[in-house]
Chains A and B, each alone.
Chain A
Amino acid sequence: MSVQKKYRVLIGKPGLDGHDRGAKFIARALRDAGFEVVYTGIRRTPEEIAAAAVQEDVSAVGLSSLSGAHLSLFPAVVEALEKVGAGDIPVIGGGVIPKEDIKVLKDAGISDVFTPGTPVGHIIAVFRSACELQEGRRS
């Protein structure tokens, strides 16, 4: 009957890309690792994702993009979070993302980026440490 800290995360897809298999796969994997996952579905604006992240008090936001718009959409979510005073919530991205874009995204404030083939255990570990870090900053 161990009481483990429950981390809340948001998984969403910004922009017009409707390919949600990846996002749903990650959402389920996180659930199976004991996370509470707020899933906001496809075709969200960065502002909608940021507002939901605040209302749901999540410790991390995970974004998925398979359409090639990650360079504009992921940083837009970071900005939207900052605008609503939630710049402390880390944003993690994943999808079909060319290697050379990863540095650009990290420079724009995305804390980690995953491409196809990343072991799911690694992704969960990154979410967990991002949540720990964020919660540590809160209290």
Chain B
Amino acid sequence: MMSEHILKGLRDRDPRGIARAISLVEENDPLADEILASLDDSLVDQAMVLGITGPPGAGKSTLTDRILSNYRSQDKRVGVIAIDPSSPISGGAILGDRIRMMRHALDQDVVVRSMATRGRLGGLCAAAGAAVRILAGSGCSVVIIETVGVGQSEMDIIRLADITALVLAPGMGDDIQAMKAGLLEVADLLVVNKADCAGADTLAMDMESMAREGRGKDNNKAKVCMTVASEGKGIDDLLAAIETVDASHRESGERRMRRDKAYDLEVLDWALEMTKPLIIEKIEKSDHDRKGDPRLRAAKLLEQE
């Protein structure tokens, strides 16, 4: 039986079994339910899910590569989900984050999976949550999610990750960009990468003041870290900061709270995802006079059951 085969592969941490399981979930295969139900909840519960987000070219993949090396030196099994955008025209995608992580290609305890957004906005793909759980369930104590290069408002990662690091690099806009509401307000860590480039100190200062003012109410102010990922500089400090945030979130109950909230939101997501085809069908079946406000039409459509 095919599902037996894959379930066994998952349990044995067989790379092919893990990879097939993620594909089946991504394709909404009927076997996906069985796979997801079979995962070891205690492993999923314990794993730390780290989100790495930031604008294109800030150094997310290179930073992820360095973080991988560091966790591997601590003998931790690490999973990476690297997301790149799908073409809105062809639906195809170039998934190129892995290039920066190829030094880990032969390490059995580094599981890298590239995924395309497949039309989803928000910086993730629909199956990202399930893929995280599959990696955690296959023994990865750390799962890193690298989002697509984001702008100012792609917030999905905040929900899925226990801890989110926003990676910025100097030379990408003034502090007014940073003052706008958005990701900066909700990230747990602000990473100024390419810290050896001109403007890095100013950027770090701006971030420091943002963090101070923006989150004055609670004690969980975002910490600012400086890194040169291409040379591996600042990674130890960044990981120490991640460790501190993780420990405090676990102790304060913040982690549990976030996960509970994320759970409900993911249920909502899937509910919308599953109702969408039904609504599309209704729209197609309804008379096509296209009169009246679309909002009113939508309300009417939902009323008739």
Contact = CB atoms under 8 A, between A and B. Distances in A.
Interface in B39-98: 86-87, 89-96, 98
B113 interface: yes
B16 A40 contact: no
Contacts of A8: 23
A39 B111 contact: no
Given A33-B90, A38-B114, A48 B19 contact: no
Interface in B102-150: 102, 105-106, 111-114, 116, 118
A57 B19 contact: yes
A30 interface: yes
Nearest to B80: A55
Interface string B1-26: 01000000000000110111011000
A51 B19 CA distance: 11
Interface string A13-52: 0000000000000011011111111111100100110011
Residue among A30, A38, A48, A56 with the most chain B CB within 10 A? Answer: A38
B87 A31 contact: yes
Contacts of B89: 32
B280 interface: yes
Given A57-B19, A85-B16, A86-B16, A48 B95 contact: no
Contacts of A27: 94
B106 A6 contact: no
9 interchain residue pairs of minimum CB distance: A31-B92, A57-B19, A41-B99, A48-B105, A34-B92, A57-B23, A38-B95, A36-B93, A34-B91
B101 to A, nearest CB: 10
Contact of B93 (A37, A48, A139): A37
Contacts of B114: 38, 56
Contacts, number: 89
Nearest to B29: A139
A54 B92 contact: no
B96 to A, nearest CB: 5
Contacts of B98: 38-40, 52, 56
Chain A interface size range? 20 to 34
A139 to B, nearest CB: 7
B106 A48 contact: yes
A125 to B, nearest CB: 15
Given A41-B99, A57-B22, 15 more contacts: A1-B280, A6-B118, A31-B87, A34-B91, A34-B92, A35-B92, A36-B116, A39-B95, A40-B102, A44-B102, A51-B15, A51-B106, A55-B111, A56-B95, A86-B16
A34 B23 contact: no
Contact of B90 (A31, A39, A86): A31
Nearest to A7: B92
Contact of A55 (B94, B99, B113, B280): B113
A53 B113 CA distance: 10
14 contacts: A6-B116, A6-B118, A31-B94, A34-B90, A36-B86, A37-B92, A38-B114, A39-B94, A40-B102, A41-B96, A47-B105, A52-B98, A52-B102, A55-B19
Nearest to A58: B19
A1 B112 CA distance: 30
A47 B15 CA distance: 14
Nearest to A29: B92
A84 interface: yes
Residue among B23, B118, B280 with the most chain A CB within 10 A? Answer: B23
Contacts of A30: 92
Contacts of A57: 16, 19-20, 22-23
A1 B281 CA distance: 11
Contacts of A55: 15, 18-19, 111-113
A118 interface: no
